[in-house]
Homo-oligomer: A and B are copies of this chain.
């Protein structure tokens, strides 16, 4: 009843517990807990008082204690093989965006594809009772460096293809490729060439296939490395082959596109007047800096991460989530490499 007992602020270093709140409000711990979380079970007046006091003394519930009881840690793990950041950071920013409002935080584990490291990280995550794990990689068809199929918690795959039973979110590479090719065709470009990366990458095959479907008879795919250098080399071969040159080139990555554009210029060919070029990735540092700036396909990685985060949220709440692959649409960012908008 007495409220003045300022014995609350003894031991200034210690964090306030619900005990402190209860004492200061002159109620029991249970009532304090109810007032802070429960709905309706407490007298409105009491509830207000408890909440006000909790606020005043700066009470914040210990999530560890709560989790121990509720068996939900409100944290998840993101396991990635990416150590470079281009894909993983936008993705996990998207994941966090979906989770942070629900008080869920994400442990980021960079494995560098090392099984030992991956195992270590996984054990730490499991011990910390994460509610789920999101696996993400630098290529769709990468096998996780550690077995994720027998875990007691849900696993979601993002930019990586998991087993059929697990929700998997990947960019719709075929749709992205169609976006690019159609964009070129709509502007009147007919003979379109596709210069892309390694054929053993699923993404490369998916894009090439979609391209072939649209490009007609003259469809021609040049597989190579995912590098600027390959862009140069491919153009060099093209020119020296003496064949009629394509009206447009759809590139499998912005880096390749950059090589292509530079090489085209070296050969006295103007982009887009002589040859139009489209890229794939919308990797700012590359796409915005080509001359002219590159029209390219954006995989919407942040949105991809957000969707993966949302799925994880549902999963941890016991809600049903469709297993299997969900392909998320890519968008086209138009700059100047296929003529003016």
A64 contacts B by Cβ under 8 Å: yes
A89 in complex: contacting residue of B84, B106, B227, B286, CB < 8 Å = B84
A217 contacts B by Cβ under 8 Å: no
A129, B62: Cβ atoms closer than 8 Å: yes
Q: Smallest Cβ distance from A124 to chain B, in angstroms? A: 5
Q: Smallest Cβ distance from A11 to chain B, in angstroms? A: 12
A90, B84: Cβ atoms closer than 8 Å: yes
Residue of B nearest to A152 (CB): B15
Contacts of A120 in B (CB 8 A): 100-101
Contacts of A65 in B (CB 8 A): 68
B123, A60: Cβ atoms closer than 8 Å: yes
Residue of B nearest to A92 (CB): B108
A82 contacts B by Cβ under 8 Å: yes
Contacts of A61 in B (CB 8 A): 127
**Bound complex: CA of A253 vs CA of B108, how far in Å?**
28
**A residues contacting the other copy or chain, number (CB 8 A):** 60
Residue of B nearest to A229 (CB): B289
A100 in complex: contacting residue of B84, B117, B228, CB < 8 Å = B117
**Bound complex: CA of A127 vs CA of B73, how far in Å?**
11
A85, B75: Cβ atoms closer than 8 Å: no
A36 contacts B by Cβ under 8 Å: no
**Bound complex: CA of A150 vs CA of B203, how far in Å?**
48
A337 contacts B by Cβ under 8 Å: no
A289, B107: Cβ atoms closer than 8 Å: no
A307 contacts B by Cβ under 8 Å: no
Contact string, A79-101, partner B, CB cutoff 8 A, digits 1/0?
A: 00011111111101100100011
Contacts of A125 in B (CB 8 A): 105
A23 contacts B by Cβ under 8 Å: no
**Bound complex: CA of A268 vs CA of B227, how far in Å?**
25
B255, A289: Cβ atoms closer than 8 Å: yes
Question: Which 5 pairs from chain A and chain B are nearest by CB?
Answer: A85-B85, A85-B89, A108-B108, A63-B127, A93-B110
7 CB-based A-B contacts, threshold 8 Å? A60-B123, A86-B285, A88-B89, A103-B127, A105-B121, A108-B108, A227-B289
